[in-house]
Amino acid sequence: MALGKALFSRLGTAKAIDGRTLTADALKKTDLLFIRSTCRVTEDLLKDSPVRFIGSGVVGTDHIDFDTARNHGVHIATAPGCNAESVADYVIAALLVIGERQKRSWQGATLGIVGVGNVGKRVWQFAEQALGMRVIGCDPPRQEQGDWAARDFVSYETLLEQADVITFHVPLNREGPHQTVGMFSGPIVRKVKPGAVLLNFARGPVCDNALLATMLGAGLLSDAAIDCWEGEPDYSPDLAAVAAVTTPHIAGHAYEGKANGSIMVYQAACEFLNIESGPLPRFPKAPVSKLEIDCADRSDEQVLRIAVQATCDIEGDTGRFRAAFDSNVEQRKQNFDALRKHYPFRRLFSATTLTLLHASPAIAEKLRSLGFTVLCKTTRNTTTVRKRKVTVPS
């Protein structure tokens, strides 16, 4: 967990262990447990355990049995929204890669967002302001709650019919009125607009992976970007072979996404223990903290691709994922986890300052909308600086 040693050692003796293989025996002297999604909180894990606080530094909660935790008197803290901007950065990177692959611009195309929560709202802002896309949203729970901002959302069926790009940002609900397991499966997929692009940056079981592979092979979908897979850490070789972008569930792994999750659960633990949290550690410098781009004779999307590729190398992530494929299932699973554990250091777009030469006001504003700090050279020795004004659908 990012900043784990710096933060959690303030609370006591901190020990790092493998969350995927964690057992009850390892918790016999543990009061506070901090986890990510690879660790499953179950009855077997908590039985006869002294654990009284669990901090899950990720957005999803499907790895936690909340009823069991309550029955054992364990307080649970999570980190909603901690990696929203990291995932949104990754969505934009994926769209730019696919746009270049298809030799098309996304200006005026329709993006359908399924699940307009913390991540979906940020994706909406980025796609609309930076790529010029028309955005439609689908979020039945928000509509049922009478959320005024959701009044213009469309049905899932309508979204599938209209969207040139479908992107999922829903939690994994296995039951109830808003079940999301298998959301993209069965007869309803016949409603998909021919040649649409599908992105899954939510949870693997939201989409039927075998069906996705079949639809891509048949040309019913023109492309896909898959970061979340059914059966993780295993995954479908058939789908991995035909999707344009394939990555090992690391869209939210920009340093801020992981560090914010750690900070949120650390602060929750301090509140639980009734102690002061103290100052927070500084984030390390971005790998590309400054970049100069000459915009002359380049389209807006070419400039966007240069800036985004330099700071969020999704093509490199895809290449490493493909190179790590192994026909042996156990080895494939180990490779998947290794890619996550050793993921190259990445910061958000907002950690990079761009200097633009010969830039139009339009491209400068598009880059600012993604979070970049933008300096525009107006003469040889003169620059103008503006930071973004953020407007997020509420």
3 state SS of 56: strand
Name the residue ranges covered by the structural domains of the chain: 4-82+255-273, 84-246, 290-386
3 state SS of 291: strand
Residue 347 annotated to the active site: no
User: Which of 184, 250, 243 is closest to 38 using CA atoms?
Assistant: 250
Q: How confident is the model at residue 394 (pLDDT cuts 50, 70, 90)?
A: very low
Q: What is the pTM of this model?
A: 0.89
Q: For 229-276, how does the pLDDT look when each residue is reduced to its tens digit (9 = 90+)?
A: 999 999 999 999 999 999 999 999 999 999 999 999 999 999 999 999
Instruction: Report the alpha-carbon angle 367-96-340, nearest 5.
Output: 100
Q: For 189-241, how does the pLDDT look when each residue is reduced to its tens digit (9 = 90+)?
A: 999 999 999 999 999 999 999 999 999 999 999 999 999 999 999 999 999 99
Q: For 276-326, how does the pLDDT look when each residue is reduced to its tens digit (9 = 90+)?
A: 999 999 999 999 999 999 999 999 999 999 999 999 999 999 999 999 999
User: What's the pLDDT score for residue 386?
Assistant: 58
Q: How confident is the model at residue 163 (pLDDT cuts 50, 70, 90)?
A: very high
Residue 282 annotated to the active site: no
| Catalytic hit among 36, 85, 169, 232 | 232
Q: What percent of the chain has pLDDT over 90?
A: 91
User: What's the pLDDT score for residue 383?
Assistant: 53
Average pLDDT, rounded, for the chain: 94
* Cα–Cα distance, 309 to 307 (Å, whole number): 6
Q: What type of residue sits at position 217?
A: G
Mean pLDDT to the nearest integer, 20-35: 94
Residue 249 annotated to the active site: yes
Alpha helices per DSSP H over the chain: 4-8, 43-46, 66-71, 84-102, 118-130, 140-144, 156-162, 209-217, 237-242, 255-273, 300-311, 314-323, 329-341, 361-369
Q: For 350-393, how does the pLDDT look when each residue is reduced to its tens digit (9 = 90+)?
A: 999 999 999 999 999 999 999 999 999 875 555 555 555 544 44
Which burial class, exposed, middle or buried, applies to 161 when counting CB atoms under 10 A from its CB (0-12, 13-18, 19+)? Answer: middle
User: What's the pLDDT score for residue 121?
Assistant: 97
| Catalytic hit among 72, 142, 169, 203 | 203
User: What's the pLDDT score for residue 140?
Assistant: 96
| Catalytic hit among 249, 253, 346, 368 | 249
Residue 76 pLDDT greater than 90, yes or no: yes
- Which CATH number applies to 290-386: 3.40.50.300, 3.40.50.620, 3.30.1370.170, 3.30.1200.10? 3.30.1370.170
- Which CATH number applies to 84-246: 3.40.50.10800, 3.90.1150.10, 3.10.350.10, 3.40.50.720? 3.40.50.720
Top-tier CATH class for 4-82+255-273: alpha beta
Same fold yes or no, 4-82+255-273 and 290-386: no
